[in-house]
Amino acid sequence: MVQYLIRKSVEIQELRITLQQQQEDVTTSLRNLGL
């Protein structure tokens, strides 16, 4: 049970990191377009 929870929290952290990176990519793209 504990291992399951740890694995889930790791997955959630990885998702958050991925979302953050995508957000930064979008922001960079918009800046490059001059928006």
Instruction: Return the sign of the alpha-carbon dihedral for residues 35, 27, 22, 10.
Output: negative
Six-digit token string for 25: 């990519």
The confidence score (pLDDT) of residue 21 equals: 98
The confidence score (pLDDT) of residue 15 equals: 98
For the full predicted model, state whether its pTM sits above 0.75.
Answer: no
The confidence score (pLDDT) of residue 13 equals: 98
Work out the pLDDT band at 29, boundaries 50, 70, 90: very high
pLDDT digits (tens, 9 = 90+) for 3-26: 999 999 999 999 999 999 999 999
